[in-house]
Amino acid sequence: MLRELKIDNLALIESLHLVFRGQGPNSTSSLAVLTGETGAGKSIILQALNLLSGCKASNTWIRTGADFASVEAFFEIHPDKKTVKKELLDKGFDVKHSLILKRIISRHGRSRYFINNSMATAALVEYVCENLFSVASQHEHQMLLNPRIHLDFIDSVGELWPRREEFGELFSQWTDLRAQHKKLLQQEQDREQRREFLTFQLKEIQDSSITAGEDEELAAEKKILKSSDTLMEMGRMSYDILSDTVVSNLVQVRKNLEKMAHYDHAAGEIADRITGNTYELDDLTLQLQQYLNNIPSDPVRLEEIEVRIDQLQKLKRKYGGPQMSLAEVIRYADQAEQELADLQTMDQRLADIRGKLATFEKELIEQADLLSGTREKTAVQLEKAICQELSTLSFTTAEFKAEFEPVEKSLLELTQSGWDRVEFMFSANPGEPLKPLAKIASGGELSRLLLGLKCILARRDQVGTVIFDEVDAGIGGQAAEDIALKIKQLSGHHQVLCITHLPQIAAKADEHFRVDKTLKNKRTRTEIILLDEESRIPELARMLAGDSVNEETMAFVKGLLKKGKKSSFK
């Protein structure tokens, strides 16, 4: 049950803290209504709960001047919610009898979600919300008109979603396997041509006897061969300078310093260092001579290298592009070799995949048939349940039918949800034929149908809180009283939050909140006030007669309130 709701900086709401006490602190069922002028901000409350349950957010919803908006809700958890508690426990959240959900929307970043003040994923918070409350809004009126959604209603009523999801997973695996089979069949048609092509490519690469980095080594060797004359000329000049000038002069310097050492020991130290450098230069001169002797000058080898580099470049261009390395060409050859091996075993793989397909298809047909049969039984139960609900909503002679489209129960007709296509048919008046919901013009009829469906689903899905957003659109007279009574009855075993324009519903509330739009410091803001018994009277009078309130209106309102207290909870 939703006990508290805090909203900060969302649209026209600057700061709001709602506390739902219901029929008492230990009560898990009650009816709370929100009323107010059109445009006052009632829908913002619904928007806040939708944001909490994971709907897409926009930073334009953040109140002007604020950096973030936040929605926080405190829920009491019913002991029966063992699945939710286990899911939270598995994710590291220790939840016993209550939890706090929070979402923060930043103007400059992504949303953040929290469970009991610890960071949580959007998917987990969305899952928790789905199990705590459900929303019936005018948007769902439009969903009712879409036949593609009708199957979802049946699966929800029959609690068939787990089975449907299992079937969907099986269908996805079958679809993937069919795609693999189709690809293999295509490869089989082109097998010989592909085999010849791959064999040619592999032979061309293998005959080239390439090694990784070979082209880089050849390029370095080519550079040396093309520069051999320059290397020889400059190396010879350097050798002559070292051997004829530098070394001989150093020898003379060393002899002079050795003689000087007889008179000054300091000169001897310098002589020793020069001696060492002289030996080093002798060694370097010898190395330079050896280098000059080994400078290659081989026009034939240079031509061979150029031919080989050209061959390697063609291979790289052919099997990937000029920027491709030889290592990648070698990997291409390995892949070609593996594909050739796969082609050799294609017949066996085709046989294996056909066997798997046959198994999958048998299982799919069996599961789709079972799912379809269960849906048809559920549809019959739904038809009876809807007619019972409608009989209490001024539709005593209404007819409702879930009509299944005849389909050939074959693999070709299968979809992710099976092969069932269903559409809800309805007739409000005796003698009138059943027609698709999309052809029902009355919004009031749709409102009552949606309310009936929600009442059925609420009893089955065991959510603690049901929220109605102006599902009373287009309703008046006795139908309004019937809807009010139905919502009150639902609140006997659920917490019901209802955004309404009908005084008949508002009069039956355990808690009545009025939504006002005010101007403070030149800023528009939405405020919500909990009305006491005294202040409910003028609000209900406004809902009933607008600005034309008179004594008769006030008397009628007092009668409504008195009648509301006597409402049945059966």
Mean pLDDT of 212-233: 86
DSSP string, 84-137: HHHHHHHTT---SSEEEEEEEEESSS--EEEETTEEE-HHHHHHHHHHHEEEEE
Rounded to 5 degrees, what are φ and ψ at 529?
A: -120, 135
% the chain with pLDDT above 70: 94
pLDDT at 127 (0 to 100): 87
pLDDT at position 271 over 90: no
What letter would DSSP give residue 242? I
pLDDT at 55 (0 to 100): 84
Helix (H) or strand (E) holding 379: helix 346-391
Mean pLDDT of 234-238: 86
In terms of Cα–Cα distance, which of 114, 120, 88, 90 is closest to 101? 114
H helix runs in 498-550, sequence order: 503-506, 533-545
Cα separation of 374 and 60, whole Å?
46
Burial of residue 199, with CB atoms counted within 10 A of its CB: 0-12 exposed, 13-18 middle, 19 or more buried: middle
pLDDT at position 92 over 90: no
- Model confidence band, residue 140 (pLDDT cutoffs 50, 70, 90): low
Which residues on neighbouring strands pair with residue 515, listed in sequence order?
A: 36, 528
pLDDT at 474 (0 to 100): 65
Residue ranges of domains in the chain, CATH in brackets: 2-165+360-565 (3.40.50.300), 213-324 (no CATH)
- Model confidence band, residue 335 (pLDDT cutoffs 50, 70, 90): confident
Cα separation of 433 and 431, whole Å?
6
pLDDT at position 26 over 70: no
For β-strands 495-499 and 465-469, DSSP reports them as parallel
Quick check: 54 and 115 in contact, CB under 8 A? no
Most confident of 77-91, 190-204, 264-278, 397-411: 397-411
Q: Tens of pLDDT along 349-386?
A: 888 899 999 999 999 999 999 999 999 999 999 999 99
Q: At what angle do helices 228-240 and 214-226 cross, to 10 degrees?
A: 60
Which residues on neighbouring strands pair with residue 519, listed in sequence order?
A: 524
Rounded to 5 degrees, what are φ and ψ at 38?
A: -60, 130
Mean pLDDT of 181-209: 82
Q: Tens of pLDDT along 544-570?
A: 888 788 888 888 888 888 877 765 444
Cα separation of 257 and 250, whole Å?
11
Higher pLDDT, 4 or 194: 4
Beta-sheet strand order (sheet of 511-520): 133-137, 465-469, 495-499, 30-36, 511-520, 523-531
Q: Tens of pLDDT along 522-551?
A: 888 888 999 998 999 999 999 888 878 888
For β-strands 68-76 and 118-120, DSSP reports them as unpaired
Mean pLDDT of 496-517: 90
- Three-state secondary structure call for residue 526: strand
Q: Tens of pLDDT along 431-445?
A: 888 988 878 756 677
Token representation of residue 365 = 């047909």
Q: Is 41 left (phi over 0), alpha (psi -120 to 50) or beta?
A: left
pLDDT at 24 (0 to 100): 56
Least confident interval from 384-393, 450-459, 479-488: 450-459
Q: Tens of pLDDT along 276-307?
A: 888 888 888 889 888 888 888 888 888 888 89
DSSP string, 413-452: G-BTTBS--EEEEEESSTTSPPEEGGG---HHHHHHHHHH
Quick check: 536 and 512 in contact, CB under 8 A? yes
pLDDT at 45 (0 to 100): 82
Residue owning tokens 């957010």:
57
- Model confidence band, residue 141 (pLDDT cutoffs 50, 70, 90): low
What letter would DSSP give residue 53? T
What's this model's pTM, rounded to 2 decimal places? 0.61
Least confident interval from 79-88, 167-176, 289-298, 416-425: 79-88
pLDDT at position 393 over 90: no
